[in-house]
Structure 1
């Protein structure tokens, strides 16, 4: 109508034409990234970038988006940069993996694989950053490790074969020192062992990985075989010749000295030793011939060579090597010793002495270790009672001791005496192991028999229950069989490998009916899951159909058992749609009740104020807050009454409800004109004294209830919930009817007033909880005040000090005249205790009497029955208290008075 202009009225400059707003053009990459470039905030851009990255875009697109986005928002571009770095890192690792995979393939394809090259490949690949934990490098690493393991195993077996060849040669040499009859008896066993050694050696050389073993192992195996075969051939030839010489006197003697002497002895000829002794004697008698200088020179050269080797081994501390070098020097001296003279002979003696000292030190050091091992082996049999080693522990200990003995033998000469003690101790201790092994074998046999019997029992059980439809019993039985098999005891691996397939087959056959039923049950449950989803999607939700479906599910679950985890997953899938539907329903209800009306807010505020007053512990503040809350509720009722008066006449149904309420009222009568008039209730005849049942555990009438019934209802009386009745006489303490109506809400169920509007759930619960908490707080405060008052009363009686007597307000129901009588009783002199006064107090309070006074109480109750016109103990208990207070205080009387006053002061 009147457009406003920003141009100055006094200015002569023409008004500038408005410039139209330029529409922002979308970024070319906005469609690719899902609107990341057009997002208003950095958080939105980062979120859309993450969503776009989840679609796995191409590297070219990533590079383009990063280039444009890094200039606008570095925070949102960080995710793109990390993806680019990851792609670059993955490409680099793939290239490295391909390079090292090619190297590994070449290593595996080579005819000869070096262990050093294999280990270097793995080390260098790890240094280069190759992904050894991913394929194909992980598989290649495993293949190389397996290949290296095979090669190492071959090398180890070569060493074992070499030691075996040495031991066989030693056996043959030992036999050459015994009778040829012993050698002839051991020939068959030696033949078998030598043949087996040759077979094992052939297996080693024919292995595909033999070319990859280290260069020192093939000559080692070859030399061992050559030496063993040479010794074996010589042994066989000498033994054959010895057998022939023993059979024929004309046959030549064997080259073995022991066997030759045995043949000579059998033929009655002198032995070689005797012949040698005669020859030596002849040589000694003969004059020594002159030695040729060349022979002397050669002899000294041989001795010097052996001496140099011994000195070298002695300086380096090689025990076994020095022993061998000393033996070699002595052998040379036997041959050329007669040609050694002077300084060279002294050097030889010094070297032999030094070698002997080294040998002795090494022997002493090794003997110290051996003695410790012997002591440990002997201590195994001397352990105190209760600390003996078990079979397995003893076996492991003996194995460790023997391994340590072998290690001690490798660095020093053997000690046969210590070895004998050690071996005897180990053999004695091994009896424990043998007993344990026998027990283990017996238990294994027993366990095997039990498992076989269990398999037969399962077969019989399966045939017996083949037609059963009790799937829970079948599942329980199969589970019990499985537990028994699992707890069937230990058996050897071989036996277990034999029995396990048979057990699995038998268990599978016995489980076929149950598995079939479970498969059908799965189909039915899946159908119910689909039905649950359909029901939960219906609006409104059919509660009856949901309950029927849940009952069907429970019946199916109880009929056919499934695996616990699987059954739980199915139940979760079945329950989820229904729970979601109920949550939607609850959410709708919460949204409706979230809108708190003005009257609900007033009740909520009053309830909160009452809760605050409850926390203070002030009785007056709590009562004030209760009155405020009741006023808020009455204000709602008044508003409802006003609204009802302004509305039309009530419906017939409301009139019927009002008439029913009036008919149910026991204190009103409806005459013909429809006007309700109160009718006075007929007072009940008071009971002066009755014969009570004072036995322990007997039901006793509540004196407070009888008194209330006798005198009728009174304004301000406490109701059954601990609160006082409405001052208007129209309120009860029940939860069902009374203050909040029959429906438990805030409506009054009276015939002369309309029902007030219902409170919301939150307001109703808040006022109900606040009122309950208030009543509990008042009861606690009253009980606390009552206990303190009673304690002060007893203290005043004990000290006979009327000044300490509680006031009338503190005593509660006690009249001023009664308190004055109590003070007068305390101020006078002490009198004897009136037993009847204590009995009347206990009868009035209906509390137990001590056991020694029960007879007196019963007699006094009989007296009261004869005194019909006398006042009852409930009416004279104040005077009875004064009578008791006039007497001296003692512990028993104080306890009886306290028990009675606990009840009487509360009435």
Structure 2
């Protein structure tokens, strides 16, 4: 409500007879809560509750006290509610932690760990709100991550072993093209490599985490073992037969063509050139037609193989085989070889597709068979089972599209799905019965609403709020009536809307009339606010009419809030305009404002200079001007105690009072009397003393009060401050934010802004003590805005200068490296707090020494370590080196990480030769590492 009243309630109460005091019995919980129920004010009650909470009450006691106190004091009950919520959260987190700990232990206990399940555990646990940073989840998380790293490392080693097998086979193949004596010389080393490879492959298969490796890796390792074994056995047999043929001329020649030709030369047998029988001449037109047909079939097959289509590549391969059978004798050797190679690739793809499809089918069969083999506590519900079966069948269809069907696995899969579908059938029957029950319940509710509409054409005892409450209760019951199908719900929803609209018709008609009346009151409020002289009695009467309408007819809360805002805005604007006019009259700045403005201008000049030290000094001076104004104001007031100033002050006040009386003939008699009294104070020593009292905040001439909110009528006491205004959201409690007494002023409510516009009370710990803040005069708007803008610009300038200094330090460091001059290395203060003196000394030493005397270490490796430490990208030509270095660091578990040794790595780079590319990379790294 607006803080205006025609009569002072305090005066009326003072004359009323005093009622006999009633003695109330103490509340049963008052002793338990340290006197919270017998406290007189909300602050004392909240203090008692805080003291009681510190003693550690039980949850049952907290719930009992909260139930009793929630209807009396919302603020004190909020403390209890927060404590109860905290206890509930702790219990909930403990339950969640226990649940996810059981899941993690189940994952660790499985011999075959699925990496996706292990990684999903941490993600799902975080989504569920489990405390992963606390035990036991922290330890279980570390164990899972360690096992995942071990499995991934094992898979990586399998790939390395596969590549190693290919390289060994290539060495053997290369030896078969060289003289047999070279192969015999390399036999021992090659035998040792093959033996080592076989040992490492066997160690991989015997690892404890081998069952958890992805299913595609064991076949790769087995294929590499088989291939390398065959190649090695063939090589040994060929080499043995070659050595025997070299010693015995009657022995058979080896199957290796190069070695056989070499032995023929040693035996004196001439080499016979291989002569291929020429093909019979063919008509060019027929040959071109045959070449085109084979080339088209070959292109189609290569396209399908490249895209990995299993079924399509099989058809294309058959087409190419038929083309070769028909036109093979008519095409050249090059095209024939290309066709043979494409057919071989298609055969490998077809075999892989069949193997992979069968593997996926086996996984789907295992999932389908495991649906009914779950533990009793992990059984799947009907809806979840239905969605799972649908997803499994869709995956099976996709698998059949990519490979040849497997009827045996399909039979097992279909039987398992049919068995699991029995759970879905039971759930569907239950859902059907529940739907029928919910439908009957909703129909009964609709009939009840219709009966209410017939019996209540108007509100009982004109209680429209109760009428609206009943309608809302009907809506809540409709929403809580259970689930029905979409088709049934659409049918019932039409009946429900018709019934509820019929029941709400009287209230809606009344709301339309109420909204029209409120809009009329809003227009009336705009007219009152636009008047030059604000009529307080008319405003109060209009507000009382608004409150009566609000209490009589309920409206949607959001709409009601908008109407309330529109209603009070013109009145608030009128009061704001009145306050602004009053402030404009005080055109002269106070001494404090001038000091703050001068300090703000000095800070602005320091900001423009770009000197960080000058900016900081100016900020300190501005802070001193803001803090030390009470003493400065006292000095100004003391210096104004001369008789000449008193006389000038009295004359000025009299002149201003006369001027205002002429301009405002309706001014109160009390204000005129005060002005005349102050005007005659030049001949009265006592009155002069009052005019220059130390309590006056400024020496500026004070105007007599002509109009003041709440007390500008004749007969009102000036000592009584205005009651707090009705602000905030519509519907708030009338006494929210008021002090305990009815004479509290606008600044007496909690959270009121202080005189210096610095924010809410006690919101800034760096402000002056309470006594100094209340003694100091209030800052004017210009001074407040000037000091705020100056401080913001000063902070921005300091940040900009710090960034510039950081870039200049890097430039000087690179220049010192280029010129090999340690004197140019920036100081520790310029480099920042992330560079220790020892690190700077190492950099200076590395720059000062010659290139051939640089510290041990490879500059390129050090640059890679620095980029890894700063997490910046590496140039494309060095990416492979960085990856290799990362692999090497994985094998050195006890060595310090690049983040810990970046200072030494930078010294290694600075000790090497200067290169522009290396300098750019080092600059990019140090931008991140030296950033404060």
Settle same-fold status: TM greater than 0.5.
no
* Structure having greater relative contact order (Cα 8 Å, sep ≥ 6): 2
TM-score normalised according to structure 2 size: 0.31
Q: Which has the larger radius of gyration?
A: 1
